[in-house]
Amino acid sequence: MVGGGALVRKPASPVGPLALLHRPVPEPPSSLRRGPLREGAWRSPLRSERTATLLGMWVGVAFAVCFATGLLSHLIQNPPSWFGWPSRPVNLYRVTQGLHVISGFAAIPLLLAKLWTVYPKLFEWPPVRSLLHAIGRLSLLVLVGSAIFQLVTGVLNVARWYVVMPFFFTTAHYWTAWIAIGAILVHVGSKLAIIRIGLSEPAAAEPPAAAVAGGLTRRSFLTAVAATSGVVALTTAGQTVPALSGITVFGQRDPRLGLQGLPVNKSAASAGVLETAVDPTHRITLDGPRPQQLSLAVLRSLPQHTVRLPITCVEGWSATADWTGIRMADLLDMMGLPEDAEVTVESLQESGLYRASVLAPPHSRDPLTLLALRLNGADLHIDHGYPARLIAPNRPGVLQTKWVSRVRAL
Ligand code: HEM
Ligand SMILES: Nc1nc2c(c(=O)[nH]1)N[C@H]1C(S)=C(S)[C@@H](COP(=O)(O)O)O[C@H]1N2
Ligand SMILES: [Mo]
């Protein structure tokens, strides 16, 4: 019951510096209240606590999935001492990184719908009620800005449109992820009361369709947004889910296409190894307690094994192939290294972030980890790393070093 003689207790007014935060600021002259600032300028009943809450929850879930899977990918590539990542199941990273990009794309229509639902609040009157109110409004800039930044940079990255990003994608995307998640948590905390209203408002409370702009009800609006998001997810997933490859729209790679049935990430030409990789005097150096240099002929004479493993690019595409070569465990034994040894696998490629990778347990001694010489039944194509490349289970593509020149004990 509201009013009706009920005793309403006024909140105790804060004292000291806090009072400054709450002190009302004068309202601007009402002659400025025009256009979108007018009272009643925004009347679509599709914008309600309920739609804002539900859309916010969906965006929140998509961002939580992105944050968890992105953080995992970061930890796998930059492992702190407390972090361990298994080498099985072989497709686990494929699932988590696939989910990252799929839920990121699916978040785009959700975020757009959410912003459409709440943007009239930009024109709230009076624009500022107190310092606290102003800080609250500014914090929304951080929230919206970081959320848009994550989606835009993510899309630009998988579209391989690096030139429009005047910063290193991974670092910017990583730190902004923390800002976005922090801003989401603060936002949810500050809106708990409205969220409660949004969740308790029965769907039936909505105005009859006839009374609604364009006849669109809240329910059909939400359904359309959810369906758009679902279609985006399905047409992105084909770059990692073979059954969906035929309907890929937003995936950047078709995993069925490419040299030897596998997409190429970096070509031999762009890595600058066109000549060195086919040089007949090329030797692979094993740098450890028992150093040695192996020619391709010697590598071919060692016991060969064939494994079926995916390449899982951090950019979300993945594809399975048959790889044949020497077990890394055998090479580490030849080098005289103990079970727990870590090595770096280095490339003929002279510069570039992905010219070398660290190989540590459990991946280093997993029987599925090979120095591969062959792919899908033929010698490696030069773009896939001829004469030899690393392939290990459950590992991001950036760590599957091509054109191996040296294995060095750490
Ligand atoms: C369309 C949306 C998105 C796409 C396409 C996308 C794409 C990517 C890609 C390709 C990477 C791998 C970077 C690398 O290892 O080189 C990545 C990493 C990451 N993403 Fe996203 N992302 C999206 C949205 C998000 C969102 C919403 C968040 C979190 C709020 C997020 C958090 C992260 C984190 C923490 C990493 C790890 C960065 C690192 O390894 O340092 N991403 N993302
Ligand atoms: N030397 C070297 N190896 C590399 C790369 C690279 O840039 N340089 N790119 C990696 C990346 S990002 C991926 S996804 C895989 C792709 O392997 P593929 O081109 O054979 O499909 O190779 C990895 N190996
Ligand atoms: Mo990659």
Q: Tell me what pLDDT residue 377 has.
A: 96
* Residue 313 alpha carbon to ligand 3 centre in Å: 4
Residue 257, pLDDT score: 80
31-35, 162-166, 284-288, 398-402 — which is least confidently predicted?
162-166
For ligand 2, is residue 264 a contact (CB within 6 Å)? yes
pLDDT in tens, 237-249: 988 888 888 888 7
pLDDT class for 7, splitting at 50, 70, 90? very low
CA of 267 to the centre of ligand 2 (A): 8
The span from the CA of 329 to the CA of 307, in Å, is 14
Find the ligand nearest to 315 CA: 1
Query: Cα separation of 406 and 348, whole Å?
Result: 8
pLDDT of residue 249: 79
User: Cα separation of 358 and 401, whole Å?
Assistant: 10
pLDDT digits (tens, 9 = 90+) for 61-81: 999 999 999 999 999 999 999
Across the chain, mean pLDDT equals: 92
Q: Is the pLDDT of residue 6 over 50?
A: no
CA 393 – ligand 2 centroid, Å: 15
Instruction: Return d(Cα 340, Cα 252) in angstroms, integer.
Output: 38
**Residue 230: pLDDT above 70?**
yes
CA separation, residue 197 to residues 15, 142, 222, 257, 262 (Å): 31, 25, 17, 51, 52
CB neighbours of 144 closer than 8 A, spacing ≥ 6?
115
Minimum-distance ligand to the CA of 401? 2
- CA-derived radius of gyration, the chain: 28
- At 203 the pLDDT is 63
- Which atom of ligand 2 lies closest to the CA of 262? 21
What spacing in Å lies between the alpha carbon of 70 and ligand 1's midpoint?
Answer: 5
CATH 1.20.950 fits 43-247, yes or no: yes
Q: According to the 3-state scheme, what is the secondary structure of the chain?
A: CCCCCCCCCCCCCCCCHHHHHHCCCCCCCHHHCCHHHCCCCCCCCCCCHHHHHHHHHHHHHHHHHHHHHHHHHHHHHCCCCCCCCCCCCCCHHHHHHHHHHHHHHHHHHHHHHHHHHHHHHHHCCCCCCCHHHHHHHHHHHHHHHHHHHHHHHHHHHHCCCHHHCCCCHHHHHHHHHHHHHHHHHHHHHHCHHHHHHHHHCCHHHCCCHHHCHHHCCHHHHHHHHHHHHHHHHHHHHCCCCHHHHHHCCCCCCCCCCCHHHCCCCCCHHHHCCCCHHHCCCCCEEEECCCCEEECHHHHHHCCCEEEEEEEECCCCCEEEEEEEEEEHHHHHHHCCCCCCCCEEEEECCCCCCCCEEEECCCCCCCCCCEEEEEECCEECCHHHCCCCEEECCCCEHHHCCCCEEEEEEC
Q: How many percent of the chain have pLDDT more than 70?
A: 93
- pLDDT number for residue 255: 75
**How large is the average pLDDT for residues 12-40?**
87
Task: Say whether pLDDT at 2 is over 60.
Answer: no
Pairing between strand 292-294 and 305-312? unpaired
Distances (CA, A) of 130 to 19, 24, 30, 139, 238: 10, 5, 17, 14, 50
- Residue 14 — pLDDT band, cuts 50, 70, 90? low
Q: Which atom of ligand 2 is nearest to the CA of 273?
A: 1
pLDDT digits (tens, 9 = 90+) for 51-61: 999 999 999 99
pLDDT > 90: percent of the chain = 78
Tell me if 354 CB under 6 Å of ligand 2: yes
pLDDT value at residue 162:
84
Examine the pLDDT at 204 and tell me if it is beyond 90. Answer: no
Judged against a pLDDT cut of 50, whether residue 138 lies above it is answered with yes
Pocket test for ligand 2, best of 239, 370, 402, 403 (most atoms within 8 A of CB): 402
Nearest alpha carbon, ligand 1 atom 12: 314
Residue 223, phi then psi, degrees to nearest 5: -65, -40
Would the pLDDT of 258 be above 60?
yes
Query: 280 preceded by cis ω (within 30°)?
Result: no
pTM of the model: 0.92
Ligand whose nearest atom lies closest to the CA of 99 = 1
**In the chain, where the domains are located:** 43-247, 261-409
Query: Does the beta carbon of 242 lie inside 6 Å of ligand 2?
Result: no
- Which class in CATH covers the domain with range 261-409? alpha beta
The answer, yes or no, to whether any atom of ligand 1 lies below 6 A from the CB of 181, is yes
Of 166-175, 194-203, 285-294, 316-325, where does mean pLDDT reach its minimum?
194-203
Can you give the pLDDT at residue 98? 96
What would the pLDDT profile of 77-112 be if each residue is shown by its tens digit?
999 999 999 999 999 999 999 999 999 999 999 999
The pLDDT of residue 407 is 98
Give the tens place of pLDDT for each residue, 331-376. 999 999 999 999 999 999 999 999 999 999 999 999 999 999 999 9
Q: Which ligand is nearest to the CA of 346?
A: 2
Going from the Cα of 299 to the center of ligand 3, the distance in angstroms, rounded, reads 26
For residue range 377-400, list pLDDT tens digits in order: 999 999 999 999 999 999 999 999
Pairing of strands 284-287, 292-294: antiparallel
Binned at pLDDT 50, 70 and 90, residue 113 comes out as very high
Q: Would you say how long the chain is, in residues?
A: 410
